[in-house]
Amino acid sequence: MKHYPFILFYLFCNVFIYAFQGSSWVYLFTFFAFSAVVVWGSFDIGLGYFVNSITHKRTKVKEVALTFDDGPTEFTPKFLDLLKEHQVKATFFCIGKQIEKYPEIFQRIIAEGHSIGNHTLSHSNSTGFLSTSKMIEEIEKCDEVMKNTGNIKTHLYRPPFGVTNPNIAKAIKRTHKESIGWNVRSLDTIIDDEKKIYSRVTKGLKKGSIILLHDTSEKTYNVVVDLLVFLKDKKYSTFTVDSIKKSKKK
């Protein structure tokens, strides 16, 4: 279903070129239109253009997943205290270099029963331009840091920035990872207003939603404080992303 818009666009382009063959502007229009679609597919992980990512859980139960990217950081212990207080388990997609910086915090995440995901070694700003071999290195070196620091291995992987392309798709396949996306994006690294972040998350919630957050700021911590109260009031339970994979095997 996710690929239908792209298939229809491809068919439209072919019909369009056939109908107006010989006109150079038609080829130019088609080229730029196709390029726009590829860029769109690269940056919207939910479309599954290059990689089929898990973006939600199919469930009839009122349950959601809290996921935190880019840690561990100096703020992570506060998030862990809060989650422990509410008896909630989350999924942390950790950066290898951050684990090396805060090994004790990473070990605490594991000890308190949260799920772990690979978020590459360095979360490079040039992720979308890396070769397949470099992407594999980024994933495998993060795995190595996780193993050495927390004696843990994960099949979960979240692409930095949600960016996917053919090289990243190959790297995910060759490292035997499961790509994890989201269907509720808080934009907590972009928006400064805590109320706006909270509104984005709560308005977008559905049964089985995977929420993208970051354990990197006091701002997001304050949002999560209110979010956990909201989830309790609305009778939402929580699940960790690895449980989706487990449920598929049954």
Residues designated as active site: 69, 214
The candidate with the shortest Cα–Cα distance to 179, out of 188, 170, 190, is 170
Paired residues of 118 in beta bridges: 94, 157
Helical (H) or strand (E) element with 64: strand 63-71
Which of 152, 87, 89 is CA-nearest to residue 118? 152
Cβ neighbours of residue 195 closer than 8 Å, sequence gap 6 or more: none
| Burial zone of 16 (CB within 10 Å; 0-12 exposed, 13-18 middle, 19+ buried) | middle
Find out whether 214 and 68 touch, Cβ atoms under 8 Å: yes
Tokens of 130: 């890396």
